Structure 1
């Protein structure tokens, strides 16, 4: 398992003028866990939970193995957001963004999810990270449809999809188990043909 984690990265780095998105690695364990701990209260209302009760806690290593396996299978991809402007030799982690539920065949669709450090919220970094991932999904993975599911109470994420130009497809009742309960979500989506430039160009 160690050699599996230390092998070649399962997904490419994506970068903009401010951000570098890269694969989470073993060396990130302390920094990632500290960031999650520092943001526990900030993220709690939006974090997924297990409807069957708290399972055995997953170790950082187990999480990495699962993410690397999903990337190799093509069923999901996950990047950490880093900010080189703060430290070019060791860009700090400021959040994470994932593509999950990838379906190929006739659908070619997936969902995008993310979280960001509370100290870095409100600076347009999440839309920028989403733009990088959207361009990768449409251009490199040849997906056709992407969706982002948001709790109606999450004003910050509603601003993200507004900036990205995703259309509102309506309310899904009890769609995901979040913060201990089944929560309603609004689904926002975008098809490839609706984007007439790169997403990064659209938002910059």
Structure 2
């Protein structure tokens, strides 16, 4: 079956698709905090993700750049393209991940890149089902991540448009800063539930005005016990 012939079948099956963390939607909503340290968590479902391999500066890299309309990142940690659309992360010297969050994954998304590499060394593979995209957003988002990620996330070190492979707790993830207060965490689908629950647990303290006030309130005994 070709990608084109699979499209009608996909239209029928689309309502049945379940993202890795969809069953945790209520948990993520309940963990959201308001106020000066507000933070929310949600899953961006079915983003397009295409794994690419090509030596930088090679004919293969140029062919991919022509098809994507986006240059491949030249240095580690760099993200090229539009963070709210198609962008490319550099995972290794010759390995990249093209991500498009502006549309849902469909069969054949990797075909243009595969065709561009015809006769050239390199690889293009649809990895959309490999990872999911979790979005942590708000003034408290960085503080939540600081508790679990062994990276310096200060803006002067980890600015908007940077991405790194790291561990969140004990889980390998890709971490990208897509906005001043917006972070994307990309775990493998099989680890999505663990990561969501871990992040949600880390968000619980941000529902109060500040930790000191919350601690003081708990320490005050009711009058009847004074």
TM-score by length of 2: 0.28
Higher relative contact order (CA 8 A, sep 6+): 2
TM-score by length of 1: 0.31
- The structure having more radius of gyration, on CA atoms, is 2
